[in-house]
Amino acid sequence: MPSITFLESGVVIDSPDPIRLLDMDDHIRFACRAGNCGTCTINVVEGQDQLSALTPREQRLFALTKQTDTNLRLACQCKVLGDVILR
């Protein structure tokens, strides 16, 4: 059962199924919702291996912005498969 902990607010969300972060718009700010703008960039504090694989859109945006921090992901492109802590 995947669990998402939002470090800043302390909110914990549990689900019996994988969770699309795109559905977490009460907790994450989105703009384009397509991996083009970076508004939904999240910092994965724990559980990087519990997210779906990095998408080509994430790779492109992070390359364009010269972002090399491997703990950053675009929430609009991620699915949570297990327990994660996000900032």
Dump pLDDT digits (tens) for 3-43: 999 999 999 999 999 999 999 999 999 999 999 999 999 99
Mean pLDDT (whole number) for 57-81: 96
Dump pLDDT digits (tens) for 40-57: 999 999 999 999 999 999
**pTM of the shown model:** 0.92
Distances (CA, A) of 29 to 26, 55, 76, 81: 8, 19, 10, 21
Q: What is the pLDDT of residue 23?
A: 93
CA distance 56 to 40: 16
> Taking 90 as the threshold, does the pLDDT of residue 1 lie above it?
no
